[in-house]
Amino acid sequence: MANQILIGMILGALLGFAVGPRVSVIAPIGTVFLRLLKMTILPLIFFSIVAGIASVADLKRLRKVGAIFLGYWQLHHF
């Protein structure tokens, strides 16, 4: 697996070097890839939070975790 990643990185670097300034031709592929990643990550975050809330039995602890989460969200989201 690590060899495949290394080979992919080397091939990507060689392709980028060969294509040079014409890289804008393949830019839509990168844009689609990043959008697919975002589409996958958001549900993972949501369901991780829901699973974490569902696993907390103590309401006091749930309030504490919720307050920390909201504080973190306010600091990093805006």
pLDDT digit string (tens) for the chain, length 78 residues: 789 999 999 998 898 888 887 877 778 888 999 999 888 988 888 888 888 888 877 888 888 888 888 888 787 765
Number of domains in the chain: 1
The model carries a pTM of: 0.46
Domain that includes residue 49, residue range = 2-77
How confident is the model at residue 17, as a pLDDT? Answer: 86
Residue 28 phi, psi dihedral angles, 5° rounding: -60, -30
> From start to end of 1-61, where are the E strands?
none
Burial of 65 (0-12, 13-18, 19+ CB in 10 A): middle
How confident is the model at residue 69, as a pLDDT? Answer: 80
